[in-house]
Structure 1
Amino acid sequence: MRSTGDTDKEAAFRLRGFRRAGQLFRLLGKIRPVFKLPHELFTDQLDAPVEIVRDDVGVPHIQAATMKDALFVQGFIHGRERAFQMDISRRLPLGQLAEILGPQALSYDRFMRSLNVSHWAEQAPSTWSDNTREYVAAYVDGVNYAFKSQPLPPEYRFLQVPLRPWTVHDTNAIIYQLAWTLNSIWHSKWVYDALDDNDDVKEWLFGALGVEIPTIVPGTGSYEPWIPATGVGSNNWVVDGTRTESGGPLLANDPHLMPQLPSIWYEMFVEGGALHVFGASLPGAPGIIIGQNQDIAWGVTNVDPDVQDLYRLHLEPGTTRYVVDGETLSLTERVETLHVRGGVDETLWCYDSVWGPVIYKESDQAIALAWTAFQPLPMVQAVLRLDRAHDWETFNTALAEWWVPAQNFVYADRAGHIGYIAAGRIPTRSGGPWRGIVDGHDGRFRWTGWVEWTEMPRLFDPPQGFIVTANNPVTGQDAATVLFGRYSLGARANRIQELIQRQPRHNAESFKAIQQDIYSGPLLALTQKLLREDVPQEWRTILEDFDGHARASSPAPTLLYFFALSAVPPLVRERLNQPFFPNQKPRVPGSHPFPETLWELLGERLIPALLAHWSQIDLALAVERTQKALSQTLGDVDHWAWGNVHQARLYHPLAEVKIFAPLFGRQSMRMPGDLYSPLQAAFPLDPRLPWPRWVSFMPSYRQIMDVKTPVESLAVHLTGQSGHPLSSHYDNLMGAYVAGDYYPLGPGMMTHLWFMMRHED
């Protein structure tokens, strides 16, 4: 089903040429053929043989006698199917990319080494029970069994580097990497401080916009975010049986992340002992992150609360000494060695303070970062307990250990209940929250503790019969617990609520339509504003036909975004062009583990800020700039279709190398949607970047969970299950994803009957 309104045939990309390229590499002896996944696994590391059944689209169903055996085989399948992806995922937080990718990755590695994530990943098992240690060890053993018994992934044939064994430390490291990408409030605090003398730009990035923003927990007052909403986010929602055709709850989730090959997720069904769960797993970590078991279903979106602070330290000249409340302290020095493929090892001096690691040091000044993740995290244990939760109480108990990154969890169970929890460890502050960079010499800026778990915002069986989260504020200012954070401005949340309330009874088809909805309220508001102005007739013709749906075939979104970027006042534009870090050379977005320029902080504020500051806009100049940019980039209006300039290119490190692109890469996708539509396709705003502009965040996975009848649960992710470019499961889901198709994710009929009998017992 295609719900996007885009009927362009070219939206379904061609894969045949890429597969032929793969066959050529195989004929040249550079790639070994793909081994079939065994139907049964025997090894002396298992208590009993484990059956593996793979469905038509490549999703494996693991059936084991014990939970330990099931997790061993999950590790085996992850290691067999996604070894290179897992290797990259551990190297990112540990600052070890340059070891395999060369000097171009050094800037990334240097910053990540400064955070000292490796230390905390090493300490994480101290928070686990003995059972969790045993389960994680079994998973790690399974990964290494695959590494030893299966051919190396083709990437290593070209890179000529070894694949080192997997460790418990690596599993914890990738949890920190996911948390780092989802906790970014420090970006806003850094920029707020940097703009201390620039009120015009500060108003565009931080000023009130007068936008009506829905809160997740209703009846708690209003909330006006004071920090930039970047336009990156996810959706989830749940409705109870009063709003469904089946009479049972339905739950939907589509997490939005960077498009990559293979997909960030690996779908599977894991059954063994007390574990009977299916959904999306994270290669490198045991269990299911988003999914459903025999009793409950859940989905997540990012909260991005105020869990990071920056501290300015003035060091005594020529030393690493600083003073806090009259006491002289010294930075702790760490010496890190960065290995560089094809180059000389680099020695890096890193520093830690009483506040946290130093992320910036120049002359006698240092900036330190405090983050809730700088402690041992019980996250893996939380996931394994979540997978075995069977009701609201055990769901709450499991999430008490979900500390970082804080997430909005929606919930549904077989008894018909629905619920919501903001799960995460949130610091408390005396006099906080704090904007900008605070005085690192004043002990008053120490965190005073944590928000009590029992005080975190929750909903259970709300009277409206539904719950929606789309990175909008958790609560308003009148709530007993107010979670400050970097929140969305609410366009997606408002639209999803509208579509839920528009229809009295929902089913899987109506949920699909919501997940693929491409209506953009702010784009339509800008359209209506421009139609009241003196604009070229060519524009008027396009805009009068625009109904707010950002179709790939429509020229209107192209015109509107080119105009919006051209209309930003010159003084604001000049400051947004500056690098995020002093002396940092802006590169392609994502080259650093922090923003490249300040445009990335404007994000979702772009059009609301433009409308709020309309009187500051030189309309004639903006129209002239827009016409020039469109003409130079696209030519005449026949080439202005949104899909021509707004595309998704799936990232793989070796696809960036021209000779390997036909093997590891795939053709870009013409993307509908925009920053504000439920089918969100966020893209970098910096006007100096070339077009087509590559989508940086989009739905990475879509699920629709039916807890009453699990066999009816549906899902699709972005690429395919396998990480091997010659596998038929490397890219087999891409066409279905673009076309808006889903496939059954839940248990097969025999397992479904087992679910039913277990529930009756």
Structure 2
Amino acid sequence: MKYFKLLLALVFTIVVFIGLNGKFGSIPPMGKFLSPNQGFWQNEQDENLSTNMPIDGLESEVTVHYDQYLIPHVFAQNDVDLYLTQGYLTAKHRLWQLEFQTFAAGGRLAEIIGDKALEYDRQERRRGMDFGAEKALEEMQKDPETLKYMEAYRDGVNSYIKQLQPKDYPVEYKLLDYAPELWTTKKTALLLMYMTKMLAGGDSDLEYTNALKRFGKDRFDLLYPDFFDINDPVISKETDWSFIDMKMPETPESEIPSDSITLSETLEKTNPHNGSNNWAVSGEKSYSGHPILANDPHLSLNLPSIWFVMQLATPEHNSFGATLPGALGIISGFNNHIAWGETNATRDVLDWYKIEFKDTTRKEYKHDGQWKKTTQRIEEIKIRNGKTLYDTIIYTHHGPVTYDHNFKGDNPKAGYAMQWVGHMGGNNQRTFLKFNEGKNYDDYLNALKGYTAPAQNFVFASTQGDIALWIQGKFPNKWEGQGKFLLDGSNPQHDWQNFIPQAFNAHTKNPERGFVSSANQHPVDESYPFYVFNDGYETYRNRTINDFFRSKDKFDIQDFKNLQNNNYNLKASELLPYVFANMDTSSLNTEEMDILNTIKMWDFYSEIDQLAPSIWESWWTKLSEIIWDEYDADPLVMDKPFTYQTIEMLKNQPEDELMDIVSTPEKETAKDLFLITFKETAKELVEWKAAHGDYNWSAYKATFVGHLLQALPAFSRFDVPIGGDYNTVNAASKNHGPSWRMIVEMTSPPIGYGIYPGGQSGNPGSKYYDNFIDQWAAGDYISLLFMQDQDAKKDIMATQTLIPNR
């Protein structure tokens, strides 16, 4: 079976590279790739799991047990050996992924792929990714303990790399015809920047500036409100904020720049659905009297998986959970005393400033009535089989001038500078190291205090009975409205004045309601004294979750599993009854009426075997597009209003001028749009059925888990039968969704369950490459083997001893 899989991979790969793949520039040398001695055939074998291995840098022997899922259980005698072993094992099973992600983060893909990746690399350099990693590394180097462990991880990765011969390289190196390079501590910083960009790299400042200019303030406030009326925030509305005694910044009288941003292309946006769910119930609401915690991060569905599951134990601490290849410790998991997990807080920590340069040399810029000196950072972008590009990026005190006449601007005396918390440095690695060692709430809180970005909702539970949730990050203390629009880079009142003290970050511990939860919704209500505007907050999953925990007194593990896999579409349930009551159906033919009756009978659960979710998906997509057709017709770049506000306007302002279709002479209303888009939907689905067969939700959605290179279908999994969509708690859409489901009951020791859409191995020829996907799609879990004794042998398929290489 493995032989067939690799042979199939070869056929598809040749087709992709020769026939389709302008993206990667050239095909691999076929002689080398097909060589029986060092070519792809060597990748048919699984990794060696039982031979004792000498490892450079180890102080003592380390025992590594592998369970039936290829999860390594590491027992070391000290932390240096522990993190060295983590680096070694991560490289052993995920080397190509480990390195490729840091090349992407640092804007170095052109070194591998060639000039096809040049614009991507320029964008990442101008985003300040490499600069931010350097700043973060400076902060981490100030902590001797963190630095020591990062160096141990580095040495572990490099110990594995140095053992490799070309025949042993992961197959992606052979496809792209390059070799791994040695790991550095900066690469760990780049990996953390990669996650910061993914989760805190979004903004709409320039788009909102355009919308304000186009619509005026009153219309803008209608289309983009700061709070929705159904706000059910992460920290409940009953929270008393009277302990906050800090003076808030006053809004300056100065105007924002009135530029019309006509950039043909802004920076590549992060996926707006990057988010997650987490929650915990207290012992009072738990069937067993022990708190229960759950976490499921929502990210792109990739192979190899973004997560690598491990157990990391020393005589002093013992933790289990999901790691990020390239970072130290357990990111979402538990130890003998506490459990933790994260969701994205999506706070606005990135602002844009209009910069006025003194002249075309850009050596000085205007600020506070003075001409201040800029600095230059010359980015060296190496291009495979091409000439190295040197891109000069100007830096102000705000940050890098990402847009200027050398990039995507057209005014030699102006530019737009990015101020981003991702550039400010921070020892975010320490937080997770300390979680791994934590024993109680105070340890959890102390671990959080230095964490800067990406802002996260950190859920917590302990065997002592505590539950908590902190919204943690480094947040600028903004005046009302600051950061919504393009700011004046010359006006010191537009600078970030200070930051919200960590103790005043929104949080809750052991709330009276007996549960904590977050699903990327608004963090607080309007009573929170610091300015927080609507930064694209989620409005449906969170209410389904909170309503569930308000629905009864006690919850068990099956309740948690059911909730993580819940496919109820609250968004559809809030719009469709209104549509059915207001749409004129007199012109529908028999076929269209059958489709309408099908969706009318829908119970709003997006299950794989139903037709109604497919009807809804097509209908909603067409409806939301036609409502905001003005945006598509406008030369200015603008973000369309959020989904909840769109539905509110359809229901409450059905005759608003924005309901009119730009391209027709008639004046349409929401009622007309319902019928027009339904007929288009019916036509599409009839044609789809004729071409593909039944349009049940599984077939129509066609969820897939794609290889990181995106152009390798044989290394991907297609047509994964999973329900839900990005508005349901089970937020599985086409190529995005729950990337790690975890449930932990805080017994002593804790009992854990987990699953993710991938497998432990990064080798497409391994049976452990994608073996979790079917269970994940079905809503099943594996019991996590949390070993307390390194001498235990139950449920262990192999044991390897790593020994010091003296």
Question: Which amino acid is the alignment partner of residue 369 of structure 2?
Answer: G
Residue number in structure 2 paired with 1:214: 232
| 2:87 counterpart of 1:64 | no
Taking the aligned partners of 2:502 and 2:116, their CA distance within structure 1 comes to 43
Equivalent residue for 2:62, pick from 50, 54, 66: 50
| 2:777 counterpart of 1:738 | yes
SS at match of 2:376: strand
SS at match of 1:511: helix
SS at match of 2:55: coil
Taking the aligned partners of 1:212 and 1:569, their CA distance within structure 2 comes to 24
Residue number in structure 2 paired with 1:131: 145
Residue number in structure 1 paired with 2:398: 355
* Residue pair 2:698, 2:719 contacting (<8 A) in 1 also: no
Instruction: Give 1:322 shift.
Output: 2.6
Closer/same/farther in 2, CA of residues 98 and 205 from structure 1, 3 Å limit: farther
| 2:209 counterpart of 1:160 | no
- Unaligned regions of 5+ residues in structure 1, if any? 1-13, 223-227, 582-596, 683-693, 755-761
Deviations 1:691-734 (A, max 9, x none): xxx33x30000000112144521111110011011112111111
Question: Which amino acid is the alignment partner of residue 60 of structure 1?
Answer: P
Equivalent residue for 1:254, pick from 286, 296, 302: 296
Residue number in structure 1 paired with 2:190: 173
Closer/same/farther in 2, CA of residues 422 and 207 from structure 1, 3 Å limit: closer
Q: Calculate the aligned-residue CA RMSD, in Å.
A: 3.0
Instruction: Give 1:571 shift.
Output: 7.5
Taking the aligned partners of 1:506 and 1:64, their CA distance within structure 2 comes to 37
* Residue pair 1:542, 1:555 contacting (<8 A) in 2 also: yes
Closer/same/farther in 2, CA of residues 540 and 22 from structure 1, 3 Å limit: closer
- Unaligned regions of 5+ residues in structure 2, if any? 12-32, 241-269, 660-669, 794-806
Question: Which amino acid is the alignment partner of residue 176 of structure 2?
Answer: L
- The farther-off stretch of 514-523 and 353-362 is 353-362
Report 1:27-46 matches (<5 A): 29-32=39-42, 33-38=45-50, 40-46=52-58
Residue number in structure 2 paired with 1:509: 558
Residue number in structure 1 paired with 2:333: 291
Report 1:83-232 matches (<5 A): 83-128=95-140, 129-150=143-164, 151-186=168-203, 188-199=204-215, 206-207=224-225, 210-220=228-238, 230-232=272-274
Report 1:466-481 matches (<5 A): 466-481=515-530
Instruction: Give 1:331 shift.
Output: 3.6
| 2:384 counterpart of 1:341 | yes
- The farther-off stretch of 404-413 and 106-115 is 106-115
Q: Aligned pairs, how many?
A: 704
- The farther-off stretch of 424-433 and 394-403 is 424-433
- The farther-off stretch of 113-122 and 258-267 is 113-122
SS at match of 1:328: strand
* Residue pair 2:83, 2:153 contacting (<8 A) in 1 also: yes
Taking the aligned partners of 2:691 and 2:713, their CA distance within structure 1 comes to 31
Question: Which amino acid is the alignment partner of residue 674 of structure 1?
Answer: D
Residue number in structure 2 paired with 1:551: 607
Question: Which amino acid is the alignment partner of residue 534 of structure 1?
Answer: D
* Residue pair 1:255, 1:301 contacting (<8 A) in 2 also: yes
Taking the aligned partners of 1:379 and 1:415, their CA distance within structure 2 comes to 26
Identity %: 26
SS at match of 2:718: coil
* Residue pair 2:745, 2:752 contacting (<8 A) in 1 also: yes
Residue number in structure 1 paired with 2:727: 676
Closer/same/farther in 2, CA of residues 574 and 343 from structure 1, 3 Å limit: farther
| 2:611 counterpart of 1:564 | no
Closer/same/farther in 2, CA of residues 733 and 139 from structure 1, 3 Å limit: same
Question: Which amino acid is the alignment partner of residue 267 of structure 1?
Answer: V
Taking the aligned partners of 1:525 and 1:118, their CA distance within structure 2 comes to 45
* Residue pair 2:720, 2:774 contacting (<8 A) in 1 also: no
Question: Which amino acid is the alignment partner of residue 701 of structure 2?
Answer: H
* Residue pair 1:710, 1:746 contacting (<8 A) in 2 also: no
SS at match of 2:457: strand
Residue number in structure 1 paired with 2:680: 625
SS at match of 2:339: strand
* Residue pair 1:124, 1:376 contacting (<8 A) in 2 also: yes
Taking the aligned partners of 1:488 and 1:368, their CA distance within structure 2 comes to 25
| 2:356 counterpart of 1:323 | no
SS at match of 1:251: strand
Instruction: Give 1:299 shift.
Output: 1.1
SS at match of 1:427: coil
* Residue pair 2:287, 2:555 contacting (<8 A) in 1 also: yes
Equivalent residue for 1:411, pick from 460, 484, 491: 460
Instruction: Give 1:605 shift.
Output: 5.8
Deviations 1:289-310 (A, max 9, x none): 1110111001110101121111
Taking the aligned partners of 1:752 and 1:406, their CA distance within structure 2 comes to 40
Deviations 1:494-520 (A, max 9, x none): 111222233432222111000000001
- The farther-off stretch of 23-32 and 428-437 is 23-32
Report 1:70-89 matches (<5 A): 70-89=82-101
Deviations 1:102-149 (A, max 9, x none): 333222211111133323323434434212211111111001111111
Question: Which amino acid is the alignment partner of residue 152 of structure 2?
Answer: A
Closer/same/farther in 2, CA of residues 327 and 735 from structure 1, 3 Å limit: same
* Residue pair 2:477, 2:531 contacting (<8 A) in 1 also: no
SS at match of 2:416: strand
Residue number in structure 1 paired with 2:16: none
SS at match of 1:639: coil
SS at match of 1:311: strand
* Residue pair 1:455, 1:481 contacting (<8 A) in 2 also: no
Per the normalisation by structure 1, the TM-score is 0.86
Instruction: Give 1:749 shift.
Output: 5.8
SS at match of 1:337: strand
